[in-house]
Chains A and B, each alone.
Chain A
């Protein structure tokens, strides 16, 4: 895997094919945990962490188990199993070994067990026939794209709460959905970006 290849995967995952704004994966935490910038940051970091790990482990399961046995049609169910077990294991491991990180990620870790962005990244890895390194890079940078999107959106929502000029019927969730749409439109601008 060449360096330019890695850069193009990273830029693609962060900007051009952002998981939230152009693939519309992981919308649930994007809307649910974006009221404050610091909670959004915690969620984004947890998702990045799990997406990176899940990419690695699902690649291993796929290449070493499913492909040799000709069971690739069971990818989705096997990946769900791997992700769920992985998140549980990571939570226990962090609680014992790195309590600081456990405190920081805290309640967000179990929340993302069934996040569709995590399942999405591993399925896309298989679909695009990525090798080990590419899968890892795609997983982590996809998570970073999620992190950027949710933190941007949370800071927009914090500002929205302060301005009283919003029409009564749009207050709260409706205006949040509209601003999410505008942010997605802005990210569409990256779709013309050519990488190498």
Chain B
């Protein structure tokens, strides 16, 4: 019988000792945290997408409270989030421009294929293959959908062999921008669908041979733009979104019908 009581005493003693130890150490090792961090974190989207440039939502919230980081970096939370954070932090809410991803390639199946690729169906692997992938255009989309896999919001899809962004679903987290081994994706202001979907900087003649949908650098868009918002740099037309008024003249003048404007008839595109 004494054995039983000994066992109870030892185990109870151990438990009490550890309980006391934990209680004391929770006081000794107490780390003071600002309660505003949690409030700010609740205003964020919570997807931990990393689009703000911090490790996750809680890291960004801590940076706002402790280091005074800018409060308009959470694209998924949008203007509502900015308002919430501004209320917690006691600062003025700033206007945030919504940015969405855009794929600077419209080639896909319209680009020539130089060899049959049978390797792992992943863009990062395929881009390491001979000649930078199976397509004749060394700049274009490989179409294996690494960006689609990286998107947490289901905003990307592969259509006719090339990645396409749904601007309504895109939250601007930049996951695809970092994934694309060809660096074809960047963020453009929401509503400017008329960006140039090509990244080929070869001379027009070469581009024409490899892809039905490539920018030739013909300068027509540059000549006719009334707002001086589109320029040809290295045989490739590049848009300046701060000047563009979305008038659509570049889209009309483009001989390859590359630039898409929402009001355009898509069936007139080459290969459509």
Contact = CB atoms under 8 A, between A and B. Distances in A.
Interface of A: 61, 65-66, 69-71, 74, 77-78, 81-82, 85, 88-89, 92-93, 95-97, 159, 162-164
Nearest to B13: A65
Going nearest first, the 10 A-B pairs with the smallest beta carbon separation are A85-B18, A96-B29, A92-B29, A162-B122, A162-B120, A164-B121, A92-B25, A95-B31, A88-B22, A71-B7
Given A61-B14, A69-B6, A71-B10, A85 B125 contact: no
B26 interface: yes
Main secondary structure of the interface of A (DSSP, over half): helix
Contacts of B11: 74, 77-78, 81
Given A96-B31, A162-B121, A164-B121, A89 B14 contact: no
Contacts of A70: 3
A96 B11 CA distance: 29
Contacts of A82: 14, 18
Nearest to B149: A161
Contacts of A77: 11
A107 B122 CA distance: 30
A70 B30 CA distance: 38
Contacts of B10: 65-66, 69, 71, 74, 78
Contacts of A93: 25, 29
Contacts, number: 52
13 contacts: A69-B10, A70-B3, A71-B7, A71-B10, A82-B18, A85-B18, A92-B22, A92-B25, A96-B30, A97-B29, A162-B120, A162-B125, A163-B120
B29 A85 contact: no
B214 to A, nearest CB: 29
Contacts of A162: 120-122, 125
A70 B6 CA distance: 10
B12 to A, nearest CB: 10
B262 to A, nearest CB: 35
Contacts of B19: 85
A163 B14 CA distance: 52
Contacts of B15: 81
B18 A81 contact: yes
Contacts of A74: 7, 10-11
B25 A89 contact: yes
B21 interface: yes
Nearest to A97: B29
B22 A89 contact: yes
A159 B125 CA distance: 11
Given A85-B21, A93-B25, 10 more contacts: A65-B14, A66-B10, A85-B19, A89-B22, A92-B25, A92-B26, A93-B29, A95-B31, A96-B29, A96-B31
B16 to A, nearest CB: 11
Nearest to A66: B10
A66 B121 CA distance: 58
B14 A81 contact: yes
B66 to A, nearest CB: 13
Interface in B1-53: 3, 6-7, 10-11, 14-15, 18-19, 21-22, 25-26, 28-31
A115 to B, nearest CB: 18
Nearest to A95: B31
A163 to B, nearest CB: 6
A96 B26 CA distance: 10
In the complex, which of the residues B14, B28, B30, B31 has the most CB atoms of chain A within 10 Å of its own CB atom? Answer: B14
Contacts of B14: 61, 65, 78, 81-82
A71 B122 contact: no
Nearest to B18: A85
B8 to A, nearest CB: 10
Nearest to A73: B7
Contacts of A97: 29
